[in-house]
Amino acid sequence: MTDLPPEPFFSGPGLDRADALRADVAALQALAAGPGALQLKWRDGLPELTPEGRLVWEPPSSPVLFLGFDGDSARFSAIEDVTADARTAFPLMALLHADDAPLFAAALSLARWHSRHRFCANCGHLTEIVRGGWSRRCPACAAEHYPRVDPVVIMLAEHDDRLLLGRQPHYPPGRYSALAGFVEVGETLEAAVARELYEEAGIRVHNIRYVASQPWPFPSSLMFGCHADAESTELTIDTAELEDARWFTREEVAAAFRDDPSAPFQAPPKAAIARTLLERWLGA
């Protein structure tokens, strides 16, 4: 038993990213050719996993992206054309070992960014890979481009010990989860939480607080898990975003986590930070 609150999937230390080495081309080449260097193996556009859910490594053949160090072992990846989205990757994420999840997320977002952002957004020229793959530089206009991170708020709204959860049309039958949306330019996280809950469910909230974060590599989101107190329970659902939204009691949420057949909904999968938010609320 532990008293620590559950951490979101994809969180953890990952590798030593060794930022100071990234600009040293000769050092990275020597590392890739040296003993102990390994390259991530990919399969069908996603990192390959063993039956135990661990990442698969092989001797470097095209070590373009320097992921960092696992102990003394330098780890690299090629650039892969990542086509999988979260829905197609969920079976793999269910198998993925939690200790390898942070590296899975970093490699996936980084490889996809390179395969989709080859040209300069400023002048259109083909850019070149620098800093061990952690940026691209334009030889024509000298602009530097960095792997994107897209902030998303995902939040539980609470009223009188009940939680608001919604379902999107593509969810598996019975699944309800936390509402979420992209943070827009010029917004705080709190403003984005309040706006999204009003836009999608028609409720006003206050006392918005941050709970936990999670990298979400489809393609490069950073999920900010939040909690807010709702001022009323009357819902106006934006049916362009949500198929349904409802309030659930603590007992109903607990039943979903017990996989109770009489539970009124199915809890989010382990890879989703919504599951962590619900677990922490139940534990509170």
User: Residue numbers of the site for Zn ion (CB under 5 A)?
Assistant: 120, 122-123, 125, 138, 140-141, 143
Q: Which is nearer to Zn ion, 145 or 162 (CB)?
A: 145
CA atoms in the 13 A half-sphere facing the CB of 65: 23
Q: Are 224 and 153 in contact (CB under 8 A)?
A: yes
Q: Which is nearer to Zn ion, 87 or 148 (CB)?
A: 148
Q: Which is nearer to Zn ion, 30 or 121 (CB)?
A: 121
Least separation in angstroms between residue 130's CB and Zn ion is 13
Least separation in angstroms between residue 145's CB and Zn ion is 9
Least separation in angstroms between residue 128's CB and Zn ion is 11
d(CA 213, CA 68): 22
Helical segments of 64-168, H only = 86-95, 101-116
Strand order in the sheet with 73-77: 57-58, 38-40, 73-77, 65-70
CA distances from 145 to 12, 148, 237 (A): 26, 9, 39
d(CA 273, CA 264): 20
Least separation in angstroms between residue 64's CB and Zn ion is 20
Q: Which is nearer to Zn ion, 127 or 276 (CB)?
A: 127
